[in-house]
Amino acid sequence: MTAWKALERTVAKKVGGKRKIDRGSNFMISDFDVEIPDRPHLKIDAKYSSKPWAHHKLIEKGSLTVFDLPDERYVGFWLDNWDNDWVLPYRYARKEKLRAATLLEEVARKYCKQPGDVPVLVTKTKGQRGEVVLMREVDLLG
């Protein structure tokens, strides 16, 4: 099994959802990776990389890290903290640029077609334990 498929399966299991495999082997069809039946507004896309993600080293386990970028504020946390009522301490990290934020906005542009749809990006680096979630702060806090 490829690493990115394993990541999609892990994310689906941890969030209580399922991997979307509607497209079969037709990769011309663009779709998000994981859906949660009771939260259809969440559009979860998983990205695996052999190169380190810059935002991973800024996020402490057990905390929400707010990335204050010029156009938007993003929140990052470890996937193991999914659904714990968000009672986590906040940390702030000023960044001018974050590659993952660009990917999250791509998820929003490609998959969030209805009002209320929320883009969610889950990233993992080769050899890393755990996965990191990135969302827009406004979407997390409502």
Looking at the structure of the chain, the number of domains it has is 1
Domain carrying residue 95: 3-9+41-141
Beta bridge partners of 65: 76, 91
**Angstrom distance (rounded) from CA 107 to CA 88:** 25
Determine, yes or no, domain membership for 36.
no
Residue keyed to tokens 């209580």: 16
| DSSP 8-state secondary structure symbol assigned to residue 138 | H
pTM value is 0.86
Residue keyed to tokens 């979630």: 133
**Angstrom distance (rounded) from CA 65 to CA 36:** 24
| Coil vs helix vs strand at 45 | strand
> What share of the chain has pLDDT > 90, as a percent?
47
pLDDT in tens, 1-41: 799 889 999 999 999 999 987 655 666 667 889 999 999 99
Determine, yes or no, domain membership for 31.
no
Beta bridge partners of 56: none
Determine, yes or no, domain membership for 14.
no
